[in-house]
Amino acid sequence: MVGRLTGRRAVVTGGAGGIGRAIAAAYLREGASVVIADVDAAAAKNTAEELSNIGKIFAISCDVTKSDETRSLAADAIRRLGSVNVLVNNAGLSGRGFITEIPEERIDALLAVNMKGVILCAQAFAQAMYDEGEAVMINMSSQAGKRGWPELSVYGATKAGVLGMNRALAVELAPRVRVNAICPGYISEVGMAWRGWEARGEIEGANATDIGDQFAEENIPLQRLQRADDIANTAVFLASDDAR
């Protein structure tokens, strides 16, 4: 059966786990060929092996904060796939803390991965994708980039920066590359909030799932947390002809 992404050749950064893994799996199910890139080479290799029964997938080690590695990723992905017409800039780093307490090293790391990493990957792939035409770039931002939350000032700033770059690239690379952003909220089983609920659960002797469900009932109109598959389904739509 022909899937919605048949003929698509995609690179997903941060693809070894969480949202990136879910996107890679969804792309494979819809007929795309996929390269997952991750700084954790062993995890990326394991994920590729686990998903290889679904479709054509490769794993490449890449630190998105280093331009030589992002350029190498682009060249290697094009060599393996033939070309790249979908780039998902999903690699990211979480971190929270009051502005007076968050260490400078953490600030540097958040800026390097969440902003510089997206910029370097866009630089590495943009020309080849523009030449290809009918290409798609998806940049992973966050609800924290759109509204303010305590202890997320630095993280939110990096994700707001992604949105600013996304708007500019959407104009700069049009009409040959469609550029969109996804802004996840509270995700079940992955992300900062979930890890916080796990830590709270250990202290209180409670279950992270129950804590998350209670939070959703009290704070989210649909009364449920997002799942990684929800984000993956959005990424499938944006990469498909349905989003033209």
For residues 239 and 180, is the Cβ–Cβ distance under 8 A? Answer: no
Using DSSP, how many helices (H) and how many strands (E) does the chain show?
Answer: 9, 6
Catalytic annotation on 130?
A: no
- Edge-first strand order for the sheet with 177-182 is 57-61, 33-38, 9-13, 86-89, 135-140, 177-182
For residues 17 and 43, is the Cβ–Cβ distance under 8 A? Answer: yes
C-alpha distance from residue 151 to each of 90, 98, 112, 226 (Å): 22, 5, 19, 21
Degrees (nearest 5) of the Cα angle 170, 172, 174?
65
Catalytic residue numbers, as ranges:
155
